[in-house]
Amino acid sequence: MSDQTQNTPTSSLSAVAANRAETKVPGSSPLGTGLEARGVHAWFDKHLALEDVSLDFSAGTVTALIGPSGCGKSTFIRTLNRMHEFIPHTSMAGQVLLDGKDIYEPGIDVTKIRLQIGMVFQKPNPFPSMTIGENVLSGIKLAQLKIDNRDELLEECLTRAGLWAEVKDRLGAHAGGLSGGQQQRLCIARALAVKPKVLLMDEPCSALDPGSTLRIEETISQLSKSMTIVIVTHNMQQAARVSDYTAFFLSDGGPGQMIEVGPTNEIFSRPRDQRTENYVTGRFG
Amino acid sequence: MSVDTPAKVIPAARKITTKPRVSDQIFRGVVTTFSFSALVILSLIALFLLLQGFSTLREQGFGFITHFEWSVATDDSGKEVAHFGLQAMLVGTVVISFIALIIAVPLAVLTALFLTFYAPTSIKRILVTLIDLMAAFPSILYGLWGYFVLMPMAVYWAKLINHWFGWIYIFGVPQPIFTRSPFIAGIVLSVMIIPIITSVSREVFSQTPLDRIQAAYALGATKWGMIRAVVLPFGSGGIVGGSMLGLGRAFGETVAVFSVLNIVFRSNFQILFTQGGNVASMIIQKFGEAGKTEINALIAAGLVLFILTLLVNFAATFIVTKTVKSGR
């Protein structure tokens, strides 16, 4: 970090945020109404980990969830596509609406929900027994979707994930041979293949080197034109670089709460809450 | 580093030694002794089989494996003429074990999948205990059950299969006698090897990396889809390894097979017919009334079985460890 940024970290982050193209106005996108969380609570056993989070993710925007470890942001993102319930003895309350429809409604087909709300995980997790090409199309096969042109979709997804040029000559090779960054982009391509409306990314770059991180951030910027993205990140620079909106989560020893949400440049330049300011200026966390 | 330094002297690697405490040395001695005793015992058994069976192997040569007569007679001059051939017994052993695997593997894999991914904890605990108990059950009880309970039913199934599929060679019979057939012995064996295949498969399935499982679910997979895409490819080595362990047991099983199989020295691939072979059961059957020459032949048969079982177990271990290492 240069001297200047050390003196005024807040303004530097807000400068990064302001450098982004104009913040998108919610509801201005023709991509549907997006995803809305309404009073979401989450428990592990009897332990309340997340309390009363309401947050709108407008279609076609990128929202970053930031906050120190243990603040519930990963738990929150996992309630958004019903991955939270895979951990035994967990429960949740509240609603998550996709285009106005509650994804926790009884009798809903949860596999269809997850097709519309894709997810990229912290650690790259391609299927090692499948080739690169098979990995990309694995979602199609798993969900038994019909596709017209396999090769076209393969190229489209890999191109959008920024991986096509690197792998186009070895689509039949096993995915285990790729580097970590390439594997993560492969996972993004795999998530894109089923054409989700929303893409959730849970610290997608935390296991990657800076070069790969940059490639993924470029990918996110490209994708945000056509879908809604929610990204959990520990890296505030990253939040400033890629997101339109930022939500700050914090736990004061009790359950995690959302402290405030707003356009990214406002969160980094003039947050309303003192705790947010303390966090984004690096005074703690 | 400056350029004009003289050639670097690379020191020889230091020898790193530690002096363990006496208590540690004693313990080390004890565990080493005990772990090698298994090897010693196994070697001694092999040596015994080799020494005792050697005369037969030398006399019969390769025919000991390829011929199928088994007779000792005295000719006119009072000389003993012996023909010992294991072919029918070896064929029978393989046929029965194969039948057992065909029945046991699907059942065991499905059971393991149920236990790992579907069963609620309480049911899981009970079932795992029961299945482990199945493995510890004395084989004579399987034999009795096979003879008195299973056989009457299995004869009926065999008749049905023969009625509808008798035109396929292996389901045909020269005479309509369906008791004590390789088919029935195979069913009994399958019940005996289900526990080992189940427990190895379950172990491997439960090690399926969580992130891959989540990846499949996040792509909209159903549970079955997830199992097919992630768990089965990951666990395939465990299934194969467990099956090989089961096969090892099936090869060596004696009493249970003996109770439900009619042992005849003729290779038979018609599995529903009352005629089969099994090396271990044959040894038991002949042992009581055997003379010295025949005893040697039986021990040689034991040696062949020993080697066969050893090979299968080695293969199983190899496959299992290789799978665990590659993590697939």
The answer to whether residue A9 scores a pLDDT higher than 90 is no
Q: What is the pTM of this model?
A: 0.80
For B82-106, what is the mean pLDDT? 91
**Is residue B219 less than 8 Å (CB to CB) from chain A?**
yes
Residue pLDDT, tens place only, B262-300: 888 888 888 888 888 888 899 888 888 888 888 889 999
Q: Please name the member of A83, A127, A187 whose beta carbon is closest to the beta carbon of B229.
A: A127
What are the helix (H) ranges across chain B?
Answer: 22-60, 63-66, 87-113, 121-136, 139-145, 151-165, 182-205, 210-218, 223-226, 232-252, 255-260, 279-287, 292-326
Q: At A128, which amino acid appears?
A: P
- Which domains are seen in chain B, by residue range? 88-326 (1.10.3720.10)
Give the per-residue pLDDT at A118: 93
In this prediction, residue A6 has a pLDDT band, given cuts at 50, 70 and 90, of very low
Q: What is the dihedral of CA A237, A242, A243, A249, to 10 degrees?
A: -40
Residue with tokens 């079982």: B309
For residue B104, with 0-12 CB atoms within 10 Å meaning exposed, 13-18 middle and 19 or more buried, which class applies?
buried
The answer to whether position A153 is within a domain reads no
Q: Do B211 and A121 touch (CB under 8 A)?
A: yes
Residue with tokens 């997830």: B226
What CATH number is associated with residue A256? Answer: 3.40.50.300
Those of residues 133-152 in A touching chain B at CB distance below 8 A are 138-139, 141-144
Total domains present in chain A: 1
B207: helix, coil or strand? coil
**Is residue B319 less than 8 Å (CB to CB) from chain A?**
no
Give the per-residue pLDDT at A41: 94
Domain of residue A213 covers 3-130+195-280
Q: What Rg do the C-alpha atoms of chain B give, in angstroms?
A: 26
Q: Do B219 and A142 touch (CB under 8 A)?
A: yes
Residue pLDDT, tens place only, A148-207: 888 999 999 999 888 899 999 999 998 888 998 899 999 999 999 998 999 999 999 888
Q: Residue B54: how many CB atoms within 10 A of its CB? A: 14
Contact criterion met (CB below 8 Å) for A92 and A48:
no
Q: Residue B214: how many CB atoms within 10 A of its CB? A: 19
**Interface pTM (ipTM) of the complex?**
0.83
The answer to whether position A238 is within a domain reads yes
The answer to whether position A250 is within a domain reads yes
How close does chain B come to A182, measured CA to CA in Å?
A: 16
The answer to whether position A100 is within a domain reads yes
Q: How far is CA B119 from the centre of its chain?
A: 28
Cα(B38)–Cα(B46) distance, integer angstroms: 12
**Is residue B118 less than 8 Å (CB to CB) from chain A?**
no
